[in-house]
Amino acid sequence: MNAKKFFAKAYLWLVLLILYAPIAFIVIFSFTEAKSLGNWTGFSTQLYQNLFNGSMQNASGLLAAVKNTLIIALVASIVATILGTIAAIGIHHLAGRKKQTMTFLNNIPMINPDIITGVSLFLLFVFLGISQGYMTVILAHITFCTPYVVLNVMPKLRQLNPNIYEAALDLGATPAQALRKVLVPALRPGMVSGFILSFTMSLDDFAVTFFTRGTIGLDTLSTYIYADARKGGLTPELKPLMSIIFLIILVVLLVINIRQSKQQALNNKK
Amino acid sequence: MPYFIFLVLFVVLPLLLIVLYALQDGAGHFTLRNITKFFTDKDALSTFALSLEVAIENTLLCVLIGYPAAYILADNKLNRSAVTVVLFILPMWINALMRTLATAELFNMAGIPLGKGTLLFGMCYDYLPFMIYPIYNQLKKMDKSYAEAAQDLGATPGQVFRKVTLPLSMPGVWSGVMMVFMPTVSTFAISEFLTNNKIKLFGTIIQENINNSMWNYGAALSLVMLIIIGLTTLLQGGDQQEEVSGGLI
């Protein structure tokens, strides 16, 4: 039994080691000054300093890309969360064939690979004669994020006692009050995970942005990295930037999960 | 309801437009030439075949490496820490392009020439978490009493796994396959970086055509992909998706 456990652990750590090798590689080489990845010229925090003073090549380009990425992710995930929650409530109250149709339609963007979503939306904007830029990228991101919000809110709706909302109404709450005080708190965990999922998916997206950003020179971090790598020679300051992003994501995910498992442990005790 | 209109406008209509553009020439007249062009275009056909091959190999590799990992993660006796699970899904949240570039650099540093081998290993890095997570979820959801009952009735551990655990975890495996197979066929950028532009996959051809304003042919190639997606979804039964991505965190 112990040998089995040892091998199981060893296997997990081996896979983790392989998974994290490229990430560790970025983090390690963010602490040296060399231009190309994999070239160690002694420990230095110069790249971090450059990143924060903005004293590097094409600083404005990278900064704009980071700003665009954050704005697009924030707007798209907020809209997707609201739209997805309302949609989930609507779908929950449907029945039979209508519900099936909506669930099916809602699944399509999740099954489609990025490139199909990107190309199809590109054709839509061309077809409708909408000039592409900020607006179209945000719309595209809302399109692929919303289904995931619906997916995360639906289970909470199923757990919800349908009488609570009506009880609130009977006790004299207006529909708006009942929504705010009863429905939203009950759905909040699903909305939050839908929001976080949307935010990170938007942050990471490359293909959909690539096809819907038009020709006005709009860059997000992904498209910036792509263009940069194709020119040959990645901007060295991307290494510290990615390391910082990695650290933030790691902390956020760990905190959420530890809180969740504590909550579960608490619930189990009751 | 408003969301229905939203879905029709931003999901259904765009997909129909792929079909429409695929069946038109540049001037907007109906034609089948884009489709026949694909079937006579040696380059496109060989790229398509190669993409399918790479995608199948990558998916198999991900199942072979990912299933044991998911199995260990889901087993209470072997793994009790929730943090390990988070560590396995974490790479999904990190920019794939950056990870891919770093992987390519790692190969360069180790003196391994970029080519099909590095492409496969790099893709496996990128997609492994997407395979592990649905399988893990399915195994976690599974009612343990089935396996215990089989054991009580005299099945060996190997038999329990083959006859009970594995069949019950298949929906998770299928979801993982869907999340790995189609994206692999359609990646662009990733395959370019991992092979130094030596190997093109189907996604790259679509992207090149669209970017060079050959929308109609690009749409026809996308239509080919859409048909494959439709077929694989039908084969798999379609509605298993629902549970998979829910509660990714």
Residue range(s) defining the domain that contains residue A42: 1-56+237-270
Question: Which residues have CB under 8 Å from B151's CB, separation 6+?
Answer: B157, B160
Q: Are A73 and A192 found together in one domain?
A: yes
Q: Are A38 and A83 found together in one domain?
A: no
End-to-end Cα distance, chain A: 33
In contact, B78 and A5? CB cutoff 8 Å: yes
**Cβ <8 Å between A146 and B6:** yes
- The answer to whether B67 contacts chain A (CB < 8 Å) is no
Residue among A113, A226, A253 whose CB faces B186 most closely: A113
**Cβ <8 Å between A114 and B186:** yes
In contact, B224 and B185? CB cutoff 8 Å: no
- The answer to whether B69 contacts chain A (CB < 8 Å) is yes
Which residues on chain B are in Cβ contact (under 8 Å) with A11?
Answer: 68-69, 72
Instruction: Pull the structure tokens for residue B99.
Output: 């990870």
Candidates 2.40.70.10, 2.60.40.4070, 1.10.3720.10, 1.10.150.120; correct CATH number of B52-212?
1.10.3720.10
**Cβ <8 Å between A86 and B239:** no
Which residues on chain B are in Cβ contact (under 8 Å) with A258?
Answer: 82-83
Query: Residue B21: enclosing H or E segment and its boundaries?
Result: helix B13-22
End-to-end Cα distance, chain B: 29
- The answer to whether B98 contacts chain A (CB < 8 Å) is yes
Best of A19, A81, A151, A226 to substitute, by most chain B Cβ atoms within 10 angstroms, is A19
Domain ranges of chain B: 52-212
pLDDT, tens digit, 9 for 90 and up, residues B152-187: 888 888 888 888 888 888 888 988 888 888 888 888
Whole-structure pTM value: 0.85
Q: Are A144 and A213 found together in one domain?
A: yes
Burial environment of residue A195 by CB neighbours within 10 A (0 to 12, 13 to 18, 19 or more):
buried
Q: What is the pLDDT along chain A (270 residues), one digit of tens a residue?
A: 578 888 888 898 998 888 888 888 888 888 887 766 666 777 878 888 887 777 777 777 888 898 999 999 999 999 999 999 999 999 988 888 888 889 889 988 888 888 999 999 999 999 998 888 889 999 999 999 999 999 989 988 888 887 888 888 889 888 888 888 888 888 988 898 889 889 988 988 899 999 999 888 888 988 998 888 887 667 788 888 888 888 888 888 778 777 777 777 777 665
pLDDT, tens digit, 9 for 90 and up, residues A60-96: 788 889 899 999 999 999 999 999 999 999 998 888 8
Does the interface ipTM go beyond 0.85?
Answer: no
Q: Are A25 and A78 found together in one domain?
A: no
Dist CA A217 CA A235 (whole Å): 18
C-alpha of B151 from chain center:
35
Q: Are A25 and A63 found together in one domain?
A: no
In chain B, pLDDT over 70 holds for what percent of residues?
94
Q: The domain spanning residue A221 has which CATH number? A: 1.10.3720.10
With a cut of 90, say whether residue B81 has pLDDT above it.
no
- The answer to whether B52 contacts chain A (CB < 8 Å) is no
Q: Total structural domains in chain A? A: 2
Dist CA B197 CA B207 (whole Å): 14
Neighbours of B132 (CB within 10 A): 29
In contact, A81 and A194? CB cutoff 8 Å: yes
Phi, psi of A213 (to 5 degrees): -85, -10
In contact, A202 and A72? CB cutoff 8 Å: yes
Q: Are A10 and A98 found together in one domain?
A: no
Nearest by Cα to B183 from A206, A135, A129, A173: A206
**Cβ <8 Å between A257 and B189:** no
pLDDT, tens digit, 9 for 90 and up, residues B202-232: 888 888 888 888 888 889 989 988 888 888 7
Q: Which of B:137-176 have CB within 8 Å of A?
A: none
